[in-house]
Structure 1
Amino acid sequence: MSAASLLRVLCIGLLGLAGFIQPAGADCRQGAEVHLWTAPLEPAPGYPLEVFAVATDGRLDDVVVTDPSGSRSRLRNLSSGGPPWSNYGTVFRPTQGTYRIEALRRGQVAACTQIRVGGGSSDRGSGEWDLAAEALYSAWIEHLFNAPLDRPLSFKSLGPVLRDPAQNFLYNYLGAREDERLPAEPDCADLPYYLRAYFAWKLGLPFAYRSCDRGSSNRPPRCQSPTIETGFVGTRASVARFRQVARAVINTVHSGSVRTRLDDDKTDFYPVPLKRDAMWPGTLYADPYGHIMIIVKWVPQQGRRSGLLLAVDAQPDNSVTRKRYWEGNFLFAQTPSAGPGFKTFRPLARSRGAGWRVLPSAALDGRSGLPRFSTEQARMDPEDFYARMEKLINPYGLDPASAYETTLDALMEQLQTRVTSVDNGETYMRAHAGTVVSMPSGSAIFETTGPWEDYATPSRDMRLLIAMKVLDELPRRIMRFPQLYVLNGESPARAASRIERLHGQRLRERSISYERSDGSTWRLTLGEIYDRRQALEVAYNPNDCIETRWAAPTGSTEASTCRRTAPRAQRQRMEQYRSWFRETTRPPR
């Protein structure tokens, strides 16, 4: 290489290095749509310093850390798609002094912050629910429930999730070991409120919730004026204070709080458009019958591999499970008693006086960068809703066989969740020998309190029966919506016939197992479960033995270990309610 060429290479290298190395005194500030967050609030030498770079305007390339000695390095991080987009990493053993942290995009600094380890504090944000705080909330939810896609994610309660420093960016954020003695057992309706209140507590933000009625058979729930909790704002509130707020919230909210009419302004949530850029992690799904899911991750479609929309929910027994979106989990119907669909929390803003206000729908027009208010879901019938969602999750279409396998996996996931739910009920009954759980009457079997709510499974069993029907009807769906599938010249009728044959094969191959009353394991094929659909219409009562809960035929070897039967009066009422399950339609309240 000539001297001139060598000089040219050297100059190019120095110019590239100049783009990476910033002078120590260079301007360092957060970006308009990119924000760097660090935890804990008071970083200490020798203890991990966690870094979250969160963007609402596109993917970030790198996070670069300059330590107190001036040494610069790229932070190994876990990136997530968006919006919002995030990069999460850890400086494991920081030394005393000032760290400069930069988020880079295409070689340019998109955001910068300086953190003093030992004697300093992290940037806690503006103290308002602005775009940066909402984006961190979304990224925090996604990271909290992140796990390999092939690994089931299920916990007995929310507590183990919040106490895992690898999952919870805000674990011990206040430095008071606050998460070690924190009860965290919200149920289905409480879960989104608990997570929102927890985040507000750690970041020093206000928090709002309302008291609502449950509606009726011909109108959705209505809510009162909001309670706005400001005790977290600008301070490090104690664990006792958070527990007090959480208890008040849990004693106030219920499933009706989320089923409000879509165009109702006096609510805790507002509906968003069915668009990927509007449905951030943390967005809720409220079904017409009261169940609530929380979006935690979008997995993009790649080639023949299906895209996924993952969500978590809590059950009456407080268990928390990650599930994939599909028709068997996300029930949708237009009903006068509810406003179902995807919704997100209304932000709070400072009022012109000294207080706070919950933003009305008119202010949620998208100009702030937050998802905009939209009532489009109110104009959709179920088939249009599910077709739109399928297009969002798999924009390039799916081979019918891939679509079938994805749906089958979701059904098996739902069956495995039922194994856990029924086993929890059996554990309770064994621990309370001789106890008869009181059974409510009428539609109250789906909404009540106490052991029946915790251990009976009428809502879950109805969802399971719906889910089995969805898988069974996939061939008809291919005929109805061929544009959702990659047929490669195959006719919809031929593709549907092929899936029917595949379904028959999988009914024999796939199975679940449960533990009988004597402790022995019993295996059930999916085909056997399909054959038991009629018996599963009355299999939700925890007073029945576990064999009956799995619809074991009377007089069979499987049923021979059964030692407990629900009272006759309860079984008679279950027979009266059987038509709800056969028709998979919840009764009016």
Structure 2
Amino acid sequence: MNSIHGAVAALLIILAPISTIASGKKSTSWVISNPEWTPSFEKQYSEFIAGIGKAKKSGDCSTTDQCLRSRVANPRFYNLNPSNLKSIFADCADLPYVLRAYFSWMNGLPFSFPNALLPAKWFSEENQLILAEIQELQRELADAGFFRRRIINSKIKKLRRQLNGGSRKVPDLRYNADGNVIKSKRMIKNGDDINEVLTSVVGSISTASFRTNASANGEGEKFRDTYPVKVDRDAIVPGTILYDPNGHIAVVYEVTKNGKIHLIDAHPDNSLTAITYGEKFSRTSVKIGGGFSNWRPFTYQDSKVRFKKNEELDNYSLEQFQKSQDFSFEGRQMSFYEFVRNRLSLGNLVYNPVLELRELLGELCYDFRERKLSVDKALDSRINLKDHPEKLPENIYGTDGEWETYSTPSRDARLKASIREGRDLVKKMLRLNSEGSSSVEYSGSNLKSDLLSVYEEEVAKCRIPLTLSDNSNLVLDLDQMLGKIYKLSFDPYHCVELRWGIEDESSAYRCQDSEEKLEWYLQEQGLRNTIDRDYSLKMDFGLGELENAEISDVYQEDISILGVLRTE
């Protein structure tokens, strides 16, 4: 062994958790050997997330499980994975908790997660009395006889309806307008098994777990796991969580020099994707707690928890929750999304239009490729051959079961939002350049012409092969996919042609879907026209009802990037 190899080996031994040195593998039994989350561990966690994100982006892994077992994505810990570590699943909400749990286990750190939530509105002064009465009745149930139990349960149901404003159903905590509060949390103890912990995380965590008041600390073991951060490069780092109140979660893995935020997100089909931050992520009020947040450092020792409160955290801030008109940078009023990029840019943000357009089209190409993987999973599972359900889900963006796993309405809406944002950026750069602004770096003589050339180059390079219903092949380029953006069916019960917007006037049309399914496709056009998702809308319409429903009265917004470049 030469001196360099010896030094590397010695470093690996120093870095390895003590419990792994003897066997070379980590035990699945959790041992809290480091009871405090220190700045050093937070830095290591940030590096861990950065590695996973970059590996996913480069195609080295495509699921959370693959990335955690990858030498490229997880160089420090992959070889410590025990042989009995079970396959690791994560959808979007699970992802940050699963990654945090894995890192905590590998480093002997404490970990906790919420496992029960209640609607925040239940905790008003008026409703506290109702809750107390419900709890008293629940205590009575233990010793009550059969007939008495029926009477007590009837009273409890009536009281719960009072809490819910007369409704029998508890509000969907994922989209609860008033936010949620943590009813209980689980603190991981010595001896807990990582396989069981990860299973429990997946069973307990949803986007509702993040929908809590951003200004709250919590108390005791029920502390809020995250806290909202300042919009700057010291606070928004790899590992920062982004919560979209429309029901999606992503994790930052890179912030570029020019202020772009790159994230990873997971999906119900277990896929992992890499995306960029922009207008496709909605903003929210403080009581719902969306936006960027970091993990709250805490110590867990001798069964006692000590967490850092908001006022003790250097990066804590509620500035993300200001009104839209209140964001400005160096005296210029701007949208929150522009504000974020300007704040995160090293030095003054200067647009290089040619580079910006190449990156934009590259990101859109990547998004379409990821969409193909999702569509192919539905086709491979033969969902398109099943009869179409009699009704749509209550809301197509937030559902469960087969529809959640195989449909793409949220993915498609975010894709349209990215295209719209890209179109607006191109218009902005053309305007700034015509004004001679120092915010644009361009030395040519005809920016629009040069950008059109870039567009033609990039769309030709992005080609996605499809296998049609008769097993013939077709290749779509990026320009074709962008042109069909409002035709792409999000409905997993449709044939491959409709999933990619190939209608019957096309020579490539091979679809054998029934007339009923084709009618569904036609009636879903208003939903395909929708860019900004609304999880509060009723959507469980049947065939014949949808066409005349208010949710179908949506016009197609012009979001064409090519249209901007071809205008005189």
| Contact in 2 for aligned 1:397/1:486 (Cα 8 Å) | yes
Cα deviation 1:46-75 (Å, max 9, x = unaligned): xxxxxxxxxxxxxxxxxxxxx9xxx85488
Aligned to 2:362: 409
Q: Does 1:472 align with 2:433?
A: no
- Distance in 2 (CA, whole Å) between partners of 1:294 and 1:477 is 28
Distance (Å, rounded) in 2 between the aligned partners of 1:181 and 1:121: 11
1:453 maps to what in 2?
404
Aligned: 1:549 with 2:499: yes
Q: 1:182 Cα shift?
A: 1.2
CA distance 1:569–1:512, shift in 2 (3 Å)? closer
| Cα displacement (A) at 1:272 | 1.2
What residue is the counterpart of 2:311 in the other structure? Answer: 362
Question: What does 1:100-499 align with in structure 2 at a 5 Å threshold?
Answer: 126-147=34-55, 151-155=58-62, 157-168=63-74, 169-171=76-78, 173=80, 178-210=82-114, 211-212=116-117, 214-215=172-173, 219-232=177-190, 237=192, 241-266=193-218, 267-300=224-257, 309-323=261-275, 325-327=276-278, 331-334=281-284, 338-350=288-300, 354-364=303-313, 366=314, 372-379=315-322, 381=324, 384-391=335-342, 392-393=344-345, 395=347, 397-429=350-382, 433-434=385-386, 436=388, 440-442=392-394, 444-478=395-429, 485-487=439-441, 495=447, 499=451
**Once the 2 structures are TM-superposed, how far is the Cα of residue 116 of structure 1 from its aligned partner?**
12
What is aligned with 2:530? Answer: 582
Give the CA deviation at 1:354.
4.1
CA contact (8 A) 1:310 1:322 kept: yes
Secondary structure of 1:362's match? helix
Hey, what does 2:141 align to over in structure 1?
A: none
What SS does structure 2 have at the residue aligned with 1:339? Answer: coil
Gaps of 5+ in 2: 120-171, 219-223, 328-333, 538-568
Cα distance in 2 for residues equivalent to 1:475 and 1:331: 20
SS in 2 for 1:487: coil
Query: 1:417, CA displacement in angstroms?
Result: 0.8
Deviates more, 1:539-548 or 1:137-146: 137-146
Moved more, 503-512 or 410-419: 503-512
The code of the aligned residue for 1:534 comes to Y
How much does 1:361 deviate? Answer: 1.5
In structure 1, give the amino acid aligned to 2:370: T
Give the Cα separation in 1 of the matches to 2:482 and 2:355.
21
Which structure's relative contact order is higher, taking Cα pairs within 8 Å and 6+ residues apart? 2
Structure 2 CA distance for aligned equivalents of residues 510 and 379 of structure 1: 39
1:522 to 474, 491, 494: 474
Residue 234 of structure 2 aligns to a residue whose secondary structure is helix
SS in structure 2 of the partner of residue 445 of structure 1: coil
Matched, 1:531 2:435: no
Question: Residues 429 and 542 of structure 1 are in contact (CA less than 8 Å); yes or no, is this contact kept in structure 2?
Answer: no
Q: Cα 1:355–1:511, aligned 2, differ >3 Å: closer, same or farther?
A: same
Partner of 2:165: none
**Contact 2:88 2:198 (8 Å CA) reproduced:** no
* 8 Å contact kept, 1:101–1:114: no
Q: Which has the higher helix share?
A: 2
**In 2 relative to 1, CA 115–588 (structure 1 residues): closer, same or farther, beyond 3 Å?**
closer
Aligned-pair RMSD on alpha carbons?
3.9
- Which 5+ residue runs of structure 1 have no aligned equivalent? 1-66, 77-89, 92-98, 104-110, 302-306, 367-371
For 2:23 and 2:91, how far apart are their aligned partners in 1?
Answer: 40
TM value normalised by structure 2: 0.70
Counterpart contact for 1:218–1:337, Cα < 8 Å: no
Task: Kindly provide the CA deviation profile for residues 513-546 of structure 1, in whole angstroms up to 9, marking residues without a partner as x.
Answer: 322223332122333223323323xx10010001
Task: Give how far 1:158 is off.
Answer: 1.6
1:373 Cα shift?
A: 0.9
1:560 alignment counterpart: 510
CA spacing shift, 1:280–1:558, aligned 2, 3 Å = same
Equivalent-residue separation in structure 2 for 1:411 and 1:291 (angstroms): 19
Specify the code of the residue in structure 1 equivalent to 2:77. Answer: L
Query: Is residue 215–residue 222 contact of structure 1 (8 Å, CA) maintained in 2?
Result: yes
- Name the CA distance, whole Å, in 1 between partners of 2:92 and 2:53: 16
CA distance in 1, matches of 2:73, 2:67: 7
What code does the residue aligned with 1:460 have? R
User: Percent identity among equivalent residues?
Assistant: 24
Shift in Å at residue 460 of structure 1? 0.5
Q: Distance in 2 between matches of 1:194 and 1:128?
A: 19
Check 1:358–1:496 CA distance in 2 against 1; reply closer, same or farther (3 A cut). farther
Report the secondary structure of 1:356's partner residue: strand
User: 1:204 is matched by which residue type in structure 2?
Assistant: G
2:90 and 2:16 map into 1 onto residues whose CA distance is 37
Counterpart-to-counterpart distance in 2, 1:178 and 1:121: 5
Q: Check if 1:513 corresponds to 2:420.
A: no
Decide whether aligned partners of structure 1 residues 461 and 485 sit closer, same or farther in structure 2, where only a CA change above 3 A counts: same
